[in-house]
Amino acid sequence: KHFYPRRPVDASHPEAVIDFNRCILCELCVRASRDVDGKNIFAVEGRGIQAHLVVNTPSGQLGATNFSIHDKAAQVCPTGSILTKHQGYNIPIGQRLYDRKPINVVGDVAQLSESLGGRRHD
């Protein structure tokens, strides 16, 4: 009925949380778990708009697996569906690997003068 059904968030694992709502079905975690880690923890179930990521256990819970945050499958998710617990902001925003410039340098461009690269709001 709905194109974007609400999926559960699984926090049953002691080291990781998996948010199925963020998953874009790229299958990187499926392949990494199967081919690199040799664990076969994740799979895609269903077809078409019913397709969704599942955990390969009878309960469907990540906590019932031998998954580790050190597995390659935990590192490859491009959307952050697989989140590491107890990490928070260990690396401050602006210093992360994918931050091109520190946040205090970027700031709000709209507040800068035009000579400094700001925009006019007429």
Distances from the Cα of 13 to the Cαs of 41, 56, 101, in angstroms?
13, 14, 34
How does 51-72 read in b/e, with b if 16+ C-beta sit within 10 Å?
Answer: eebebbeeeeebeebebebebe
* pLDDT tens digits, one per residue of 84-93: 888 766 766 6
Domain residue spans in the chain?
1-88, 89-122
pTM for the full predicted model: 0.67
Look at the domain 1-88 and name its fold. Alpha-Beta Plaits (3.30.70)
* pLDDT tens digits, one per residue of 3-55: 677 888 999 999 999 999 889 999 999 999 999 999 999 999 999 888 999 99
With cut-offs at 50, 70 and 90, classify the pLDDT of residue 121: very low
